[in-house]
Amino acid sequence: MNKTTKTLVISLVGAFALLYLLMPKKAKNGTSTASGMKYPEPKVADDKALKDKENAMIGLEAMRSAINSNESKTELNKLSSMIFQDYGVKVMPNKKTGLLRAMSKDGKVLAEEEKV
């Protein structure tokens, strides 16, 4: 090997090593950190879960409005059954705190009033 060939090989090896070190690294989730994304995309909630939460809030607001306007117990029961039929949400007062609680058909608490 002459001096020119040796210099060429060393230059090529150095160039490839430099390129390897300067290439953007892949994140654990497969996205490149060089694209400006430091964090992965946020998780999107399931559409059904969002709809259930929205229905629960509508039911809570309707029931609280009826209670504040001093509706009778029978009217509150009618409203509760209408909310359950239309939105699939059961609205009832919490036994410990007395605040309203919205629950799904299977008993999962979707939303609850907060103390003000």
C-beta separation of 91 from 63 below 8 A: yes
Q: What is the mean pLDDT of residues 44-48?
A: 75
Strand 90-93 and strand 100-103: the pairing is antiparallel
Strand 90-93 and strand 109-112: the pairing is unpaired
Q: Is the pLDDT of residue 35 over 80?
A: no
Would you state the pLDDT for residue 23? 85
Q: Indicate the SS3 state at residue 95.
A: coil
Q: Which residue has tokens 């608490």? A: 109
User: In a 10 Å sphere around its CB, with 0-12 CB exposed, 13-18 middle and 19+ buried, how is residue 110 labelled?
Assistant: buried
Residue bearing the bigger pLDDT, 14 or 44: 14
